[in-house]
């Protein structure tokens, strides 16, 4: 059995712990030498580098749909701080540098959040859908993702099966961020919009894309370990030069997370022994 944290044994210490983590979280960024993207422009850059969208309401969650509606409210607040942001050469995008005060004028609602391995309603829940979308957009550009962490546990089945597995990016203020650095000579711009069913994201640039990116799972497997099921997804990216047709592929990372919902019938799960499979 995992050892309990002090804040689990003494819950009233949790607000103090959160305050402490957030303070040092932002202090560290002030001292890390990065130039963080903050400037925004209502004028859009002329070329779409990549665009994608995601379904807003997850009807597979198994929870009261009001929490999905609350999530949409929260996403709208957070997206206002990101929409139109310019990532200039040498700058780093940070999710929390921008979203930090998204609820200053209008509060978040309780959405679904993973806490201590369980999905529970919590203030501001659901923001990871925006960070997931942003990470997916970044993977299709020359921007370099410098900080990203996948969800250690997936408590809900995905909205759709449109994306590969293991491309999510969890964010938790004071603990985990999503960052991407612009090491090119071009300026990139983030645009976020909504319709009744989907949240849409675009990465814009001042000139046409020089590469076309395709992100896939080069391998995907499920393993049962000590009674729990884990998903191991290898995420790879192919880059194609549209002028010459030259194509290169490389593995980006391996993502592992626990799956806490029933997998579809027929999914192959390998039993993992103590010393390997």
**For residue 10, pLDDT beyond 70:** no
Share of the chain above pLDDT 90, in %: 79
Confidence at residue 158, expressed as pLDDT on a 0 to 100 scale: 82
CA distance 206 to 182: 14
Nearest Cα residue to 248 out of 239, 256, 257:
239
Structure confidence by residue, pLDDT tens digits, 200-222:
999 999 999 999 999 999 999 99
Partner residues linked to 192 by β-bridges: 201
Q: What's residue 17's pLDDT? A: 73
Which letter does DSSP use for residue 56 in this model?
S
Res. 197: pLDDT tops 50: yes
So what's the pLDDT on residue 141?
98
The pair of structure tokens assigned to 80 is 């206002």
d(CA 119, CA 155): 6
In the prediction, which pLDDT does 4 show?
55
pLDDT in tens, 17-62: 787 889 999 999 999 999 999 999 999 999 999 999 999 998 877 7
- Residues in a beta bridge with 34: none
User: What Rg, from alpha-carbon coordinates, does the chain have?
Assistant: 19
Please give the model's pTM, rounded to 2 decimal places. Answer: 0.91
More confident residue, 253 or 112: 253
Token pair listed for 134:
């942003």
Residues 6 or more apart from 221 whose CB is under 8 A from it? 231, 232, 268, 270
Read off the pLDDT of residues 116-168 as tens digits, 9 standing for 90 and up.
Answer: 667 888 999 999 999 999 999 999 999 999 999 999 999 888 877 778 999 99
pLDDT band at 14 (very low <50, low <70, confident <90, very high): low
Q: Tell me, what's the pLDDT at 192?
A: 98
In whole numbers, what is the pLDDT of the chain averaged over residues? Answer: 91
Distance, in Å, from the CA atom of 72 to the CA atom of 85, rounded to the nearest integer, reads 21
β-pair partners for 228:
225
- So what's the pLDDT on residue 16? 77
Is residue 85's pLDDT more than 60?
Answer: yes
Q: What is the pLDDT of residue 6?
A: 46
The answer to whether 258 and 230 have CB atoms below 8 angstroms apart is: yes
């Amino acid at each position: 059995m995992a050892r309990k944290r002090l804040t689990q044994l003494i819950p009233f210490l949790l607000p103090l712990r959160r305050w402490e983590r957030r303070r040092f979280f932002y202090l560290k960024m002030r001292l890390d030498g990065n130039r963080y993207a903050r400037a925004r422009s209502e004028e859009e850059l002329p070329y779409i580098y990549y665009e994608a969208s995601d379904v807003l309401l997850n009807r597979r969650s198994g929870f009261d749909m009001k929490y999905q509606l609350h999530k949409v409210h929260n996403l709208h607040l957070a997206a206002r701080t990101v929409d139109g942001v310019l990532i200039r050469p040498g700058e780093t995008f940070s999710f929390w540098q921008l979203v930090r005060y998204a609820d200053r004028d209008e509060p978040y609602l309780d959405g679904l959040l993973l806490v201590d391995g369980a999905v529970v309603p919590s203030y501001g829940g659901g923001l990871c859908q925006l960070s997931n979308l942003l990470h997916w957009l970044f993977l299709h550009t020359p921007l370099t993702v410098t900080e990203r962490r996948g969800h250690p546990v997936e408590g809900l089945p995905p909205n759709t099966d449109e994306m590969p597995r293991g491309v999510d990016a969890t964010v938790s203020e004071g603990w985990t961020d999503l960052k991407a650095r612009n090491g090119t000579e071009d300026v990139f711009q983030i645009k976020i919009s909504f319709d009744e069913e989907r949240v849409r994201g675009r990465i814009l640039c001042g000139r046409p894309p020089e590469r076309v990116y395709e992100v896939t799972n080069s391998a995907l497997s499920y393993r049962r370990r000590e009674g729990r099921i884990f998903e191991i997804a290898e995420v790879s990216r192919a880059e194609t030069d549209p002028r010459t047709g030259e194509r290169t592929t490389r593995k980006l990372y391996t993502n592992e997370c626990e799956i806490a919902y029933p997998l579809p019938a027929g999914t192959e799960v390998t039993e993992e022994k103590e010393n390997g499979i």
